[in-house]
A and B are shown apart, each in its own frame.
Chain A
Amino acid sequence: MTLDVSNLAVDTELPERARSLRRHVVRLTADSSGAHLGGSMSSVEILTALFFGGVLRVDPRDPESEGRDYLIYSKGHASASLYAVLAERGFFPVEELETYKQPGSRLAGHPSKEVPGVELATGSLGHGLPVGVGLALAGKHDRSDYRVFVVLGDGECQEGSVWEAAMCAAHYGLDNLCAIVDRNGIQEDGPTEEIMALEPFADKWRSFGWEVAEIDGHDLGQVTDALHRVPHRDRRPTAIIARTQKGHGVSFAAGMTAWHYGQLTPQQREQALGELDADAESSA
C-alpha cells in the first residue's frame, strides 16, 4: 500500500500550516465574489490535524487509492478551507486556488466530485453523515480497516437526517466512523442557541449511543490527539465536538455572524494577512 500519512510536528510545523490555510482562505474570500469565511476559518485546525497531523491515510497522487481513509466534508459551504488543505497536501496545484469561483473552474462555492480529494459533493446540509454511515457499514462488512471521518457544521445538526444517521451508526456499532462537529456556535442567521438551540449538544450525541469528546477546536494538540485516539471506544462511533470560533484568526471577523459569508475588501484582505503574519512572528 502506498498510502502515506503526513505527520508534522504539532508544536512547530502544524501551527504554521494552519496559518497558511488561513492565508489562502483570506485570499479566496477577497479575490472571488465571496466565500463562507466564518465557517472556513473555524474548521482550519480540524482540517490541518486530519491532513497534516498524521491522521488521514490518503495518497494525493492517487486520490482513489484502495484502503484509504475517507473524509466527508459535510459542511461543504466552508469550501475555502477544504480547497486550501487539499491543495497544500498536493491533491491539486496550489496555484489552482486562484481559480476559486472563477469562470470554468472546478472550485465551485460548494465542493463537487470534480475536485481531487473530494469524496462526496456536499453543501446541501445533512448529507454527509448518512453517506459516512454507508461507507462505514461497507468497511465493517468487508473487514477493511479504513476509517470514515465526517466534518459537520453545528447548525447542520438541525437537519433530521443527521440524527437518523447518528441512530443508525450506533445501532450498527460503527467504531470506524468519526463525526467531528465544528461547534462555532453561529449559523447564517445568528447564534445557534437563538436560531434553534442545540444544547445540551454533547448529551444529544451521547444519548444516541456515541462516544463523545469535547475539545478546544483551535488547539492543534487537542484536535490531533482526539483524532489519533479514534475509535474512542470499541463498537461505538466517535463524536468529537470541537469548540471553535467563527472567523477565527481574523480579528474583525471572529465571532461575527456577519462574516458567515462575505467578500473581503482589499483593505480587509491586507489587514487579515497582516494579523496572520504578526501571529506567525509572535509564535516564532
Chain B
Amino acid sequence: MTRKDDRMSGDLLDAQIGRDLAGWFSDHGRSGRTTCRQAQLDLAHRDERIFSLEGDLGLPAVPFPDELPDQYRQIGIAEANLMGVAAGMAMRGIKPFVNTFATFATMRACEQVRLDIAYHASNVKVVGYYAGISGGWAGPSHHCIEDIAIMRVLPNMTILSPADAFEAYQATVAAAAHEGPVYLRLGRSDTPRVHEQGQPFEIGRAVQLRDGHDATIVATGGLMVAEALRAAELLEAHGVNCRMLNVHTLKPLDTEALTAAARETGAIVTLEDHNVIGGLGSAVASVLAQRHPVTVDRFGISDRYCVRCDDYEEMLSLHGIAAQDVCDGLLRRLR
C-alpha cells in the first residue's frame, strides 16, 4: 500500500461547507493547526454563534480576525482566563473554539477545563496544537505527552485526534456540530495524507484504513497513523498481513471495532506519540481486558521526557515509535 496522493478531492467538504480543500491545501500546506483554524472560519461564516478565541499563538495564514472580527477574541497569554472566558460565553449560547497549545490547554489551564467546561458540560471546543512530540525542535516545554491521559478522565469530555489535515477539517466540523465539550488534539506541521477520499467522519467510529488477518495496528493522530500504515507495508513484505485502525476519537472509544479486531486478528499493537501510560494503548487495553483479552503491545513514549530535540520524524525513531520499530516489535512477538 502506498501513501495517498497528496491532492485531496474534498468532495465531502464541498457538500458540507463549500470549501475546496484540494486547492486550499496546495496554498496553505497540510498542517492540522492551519486547517482547523480555517475550518473554524468557514464554520463561523455559516453560524454566527461560532467564535474563535486565541491565546496569542495564532497564525496570520488564516484571516479570521480580518474576515469576522466580531466572532474573534484575542485573550492574550493567560490560559486560565481563556478557558473561563470561553465557558462564560458558552453560557450565552456562543460556541467558542479555544486555540492554544496542547500542553497549556490541558495542563496550565487543566482545572479551568475541568470545572468551568467539563463539569458544566459547557459547549466549548478546546483545541490543543503541538500535541505529542510534534513540537520537535521546540523542546520539552512544548511537547505534550500527557494530554490524552488527562482529558480522558474528565467526564463529559469528547476527544478527537485526527490523522491528517483533511480529517482535522472534518473533526472541526464534527466538533462544532457536537453539543458539549470537545478536546481536539492536533500537531504542529504538515503531515502526509492518509485519509481515503470521501471517507465520512463520525465521532466515536474508528476508520479501518486497511484490512488484514494476522494482527491489527491501532493508531491515533497526525503522523502516527501514517507511521502505522508504513509499518503495515513493512510487515506485508515479511508476509504479515495487518489490519489498521485509525482511532480519531479517543473518547468515546470505538469498542466494537476494537473488539472485532481482537477477535478476528488475535494480536493488537497500539501506536501513539503520547506517554504509554494513560493514552491510546491504555484505553485499548482496558476495553479488551474486559471484552476480548488478547496481548496488547503498546508503542508510545516510555514514560520519560524528551531530552534531545530533533525533527519530529527523527524523534519518532529516537523514541522507538517509528514504523520500523512497530514492524520489528510485531515480528518478534509473532515468531
Contacts and interface: CB of A to CB of B under 8 A. Distances in A.
B111 interface: yes
Nearest to A168: B81
Contact of B76 (A120, A136, A167): A167
Interface stretch (A24-32, A100-108, A126-134, A257-265): A126-134
A142 interface: yes
Given A121-B115, A121-B120, A164-B78, A131 B84 contact: yes
A229 interface: no
A164 B83 CA distance: 11
B260 interface: no
B116 interface: yes
A135 B111 contact: no
B70 interface: yes
B88 interface: yes
A161 interface: yes
A196 interface: no
> Considering residues B75, B76, B90, B119, which has the most beta carbons from chain A within 10 angstroms of its beta carbon?
B75
A127 B84 contact: yes
A139 B89 CA distance: 9
A165 B84 contact: yes
A136 B91 CA distance: 11
Contacts, number: 89
A200 interface: no
A171 B82 CA distance: 14
Interface string A2-41: 0000000000000000000000000000000000000000
Interface string B70-87: 100101101011111111
Contact of A130 (B76, B80, B94, B120): B80
A130 B83 contact: yes
Interface string B267-295: 00000000000000000000000000000
Given A135-B89, A137-B88, A160-B80, A124 B75 contact: no
Contacts of B73: 137, 172
Contact of B80 (A126, A137, A139): A126
B107 to A, nearest CB: 15
Contacts of B111: 124
A168 B120 contact: no
Contacts of B80: 126, 130, 160-161, 164
B85 A137 contact: yes
Contacts of A233: none
A113 interface: yes
Contacts of A142: 92
Interface string A166-182: 01100110000000000
Nearest to B92: A138
B75 to A, nearest CB: 6
Contacts of A132: 88
Contacts of B86: 134
A151 B85 CA distance: 17
20 contacts: A119-B91, A121-B115, A126-B80, A130-B80, A130-B84, A132-B88, A133-B84, A134-B86, A135-B88, A135-B89, A135-B91, A137-B88, A137-B89, A141-B94, A142-B92, A160-B80, A164-B80, A165-B84, A168-B81, A172-B73
Interface of A: 70, 113, 119-121, 124, 126-127, 129-139, 141-142, 160-161, 164-165, 167-168, 171-172
Interface of B: 70, 73, 75-76, 78, 80-94, 111-112, 115-116, 119-120
